[in-house]
Amino acid sequence: MQEKTFTIVANEPIARDTFRMVLAGDTSGITRPGQFVNVAIDGLFLRRPISVSDSGPGTCPKGVPGAGLPMDFLTLIYKVVGKGTAAMAEMESDTELNILTGLGNGFDASRAGDRPLLVGGGVGVPPLYKLAKELTAAGKRVSAVLGFNTAQEAFYEKEFRTLGCDVTVATADGSYGVRGFVTDALPETYSYFYACGPLPMLRALSETAASDGELSFAERMGCGFGACMGCTMMTKNGPKRICKDGPVFRKEETVWED
């Protein structure tokens, strides 16, 4: 974990209620895809945990101070679901944010095998983007199944395709792509899966997936770095903190209670 100051360079809607914020700052604390950051927001007490969609070296975009210069960037894709994310959506470029970076364990890309499958539901899609980048760069044949409620909420189909992923989109209302849930659109064969999304989706996947895999969990958090036990869930290996021991857990670790 590192505490760093980031500067917003872009913050724009990419789908209904869904925004992409690009920030400049020191991302050296982020070591694996699937990690998250915890963002301090003026006027709110608790930080807001947001998954890292992308990070690393890049070039400062046009139209902002330092355009064209090399910079470390951090991309956060978030959905407005409450006061914190609503406040983030109002933030303007050049705003400075205090962010705890490099939180959580992240995905283990070394387990992917030859044909990994990425399964994202809604705002569970973003952390899979950085993973897709790594896996495609490593020459893997990556399938991505992205699920949304409706066409207006869909995002990043093109971005995953540009990386070279074989992309299928599912919408619950059938307004775009396959009608139904991500579990209705899974490919027949895959070597390993990585998933992030709502609990019912994670449960369905862990109970029906044909391979081993990893699931990333989201939860209301106090600290985000393992101190408060505010986000502990039960696993086969005992109680685990989603923020510190997770957010990514192996399929065989997960316990589903009725």
Partner 1 sequence: MGRLNVDLCGIELANPVIPASGTFGYGYEFAELYDINCLGTFSFKGTTKEPRPGNPLPRIAEAPSGMLNAVGLQNPGVEAVLREELPKLKNVFHKPVMANVSGFSADDYAYTVSRLDEEPQIGWFEINVSCPNVHGGGMSFGTDPKAAADVTRRVKAVTKKPVIMKLSPNVTDIAEIAKACEDAGADAVSLINTLLAMRISLRTGRPILANTTGGLSGPAVFPVAVRMVYQVAKAVTIPVVGIGGIDSAEAVIEMMMAGASAVEVGAANLVDPFASKRIIEDLPAAMDNYGIRELKDIIGGAL
CA nearest to 177, candidates 208, 143, 145: 145
Nearer to partner 1, 43 or 63 (CB): 43
Shortest gap between Cβ of 249 and partner 1 (angstroms)?
A: 14
Shortest gap between Cβ of 247 and partner 1 (angstroms)?
A: 13
Q: Which of residues 32-71 bind partner 1 (CB under 8 A)?
A: 40, 44-47
Shortest gap between Cβ of 115 and partner 1 (angstroms)?
A: 34
Nearer to partner 1, 3 or 12 (CB): 3
Place of tokens 């065989």: 252
Among 52, 100, 117, 125, binds partner 1 (CB under 8 A): 100
Nearer to partner 1, 138 or 234 (CB): 234
Q: Which of residues 79-98 bind partner 1 (CB under 8 A)?
A: 83-84
Does residue 198 belong to the site contacting partner 1 (CB under 8 A)?
A: no
Nearer to partner 1, 113 or 226 (CB): 226
Cβ distance 190 to 181 under 8 Å? no
Shortest gap between Cβ of 6 and partner 1 (angstroms)?
A: 16
Pairing of strands 192-196, 213-216: parallel
Give the amino acid at 35: Q
Shortest gap between Cβ of 3 and partner 1 (angstroms)?
A: 7
Q: Which of residues 202-231 bind partner 1 (CB under 8 A)?
A: 219-223, 225-231
Shortest gap between Cβ of 244 and partner 1 (angstroms)?
A: 7
Among 233, 245, 246, 249, binds partner 1 (CB under 8 A): 233
Q: Which residues pair with 254 in a beta bridge?
A: 235
Shortest gap between Cβ of 257 and partner 1 (angstroms)?
A: 9
d(Cα 21, Cα 94) in Å, to the nearest integer?
A: 12
Nearer to partner 1, 14 or 229 (CB): 229
Nearer to partner 1, 2 or 191 (CB): 2
Residues that bind partner 1 (CB under 8 A): 1, 3, 40, 44-47, 83-84, 100, 219-223, 225-234, 238-239, 244
